[in-house]
Amino acid sequence: MLVAVALNHISVKYGRLPALDDVSAEFAAGSLTAVAGPNGAGKSTLLKTIAGILRPARGTMTINLPPGATVAYLPQTANIQRDFPMTVMQAVCTGFWNGVGDVHAITPLMRAEAASAIAQVGLNGLENRQISELSGGQFQRMLFARVIVQNAQIILLDEPFTAIDGETTAKLIQILLGWHQEKRTVICVLHDLLLIKKYFPESFVLAGRCLGSGHTHDMFEQKLLSFDLDMVEIQTLDEHRRDHHENDEECVHCHDH
**What does the alpha-carbon distance between residue 158 and residue 229 come to, in Å, rounded to a whole number?**
22
Q: Model confidence over 180-231: pLDDT tens digits?
A: 999 999 999 998 999 999 999 999 999 989 999 999 999 999 888 887 655 5
**Quick one: 17 and 95 in the same domain?**
no
**Confidence band for 54, pLDDT divided at 50, 70 and 90:** very high
pLDDT at 256: 36
Instruction: Work out the average pLDDT over 28-53.
Output: 94
CA separation, residue 99 to residues 95, 107, 149 (Å) = 9, 12, 11
Kindly state whether residue 74 falls inside one of the protein's structural domains: no
The pLDDT score that the predictor gives to residue 251 is 35
DSSP assignment, residue 222? T
Please give the share of the chain, as a percent, with pLDDT higher than 90: 62
Question: Residue 167 has what pLDDT?
Answer: 87
The answer to whether residues 88 and 182 belong to one domain is: no
Residues 164 and 59 in one domain: yes
Residues 92 and 219 in one domain: no
How many structural domains is the chain composed of? 2
Residues 142 and 168 in one domain: no
Mean pLDDT of the chain: 85
Q: Verify that 159 and 59 share a domain, yes or no.
A: yes
Same domain, yes or no: 168 and 47: yes
166/140 same-domain check:
no
Q: Which CATH number do you get for residue 211? A: 3.40.50.300
113 is a domain residue: yes
The predicted pLDDT at position 60 comes to: 95
Query: By residue range, what is the domain housing residue 92?
Result: 82-150
Residue 249: burial class (beta carbons within 10 Å; 0-12, 13-18, 19+): exposed
Last residue of one domain, picked from the residues 150, 175, 209 = 150
Q: What is the pLDDT of residues 141-171, one digit of tens each?
A: 999 999 999 999 999 999 998 878 888 899 8
Same domain, residue pair 200 and 92: no
42 with 127, same domain: the answer is no
Last residue of a domain, one of 150, 166, 186: 150
- pLDDT at residue number 254: 35
Alpha carbon 221 to its chain centroid, in Å, reads: 23
For residues 119 and 178, membership in a common domain is answered with no
What does the angle CA 56 – CA 143 – CA 161 come to, to the nearest 5 degrees? 85
Domain-ending residue, one of 125, 150, 175: 150
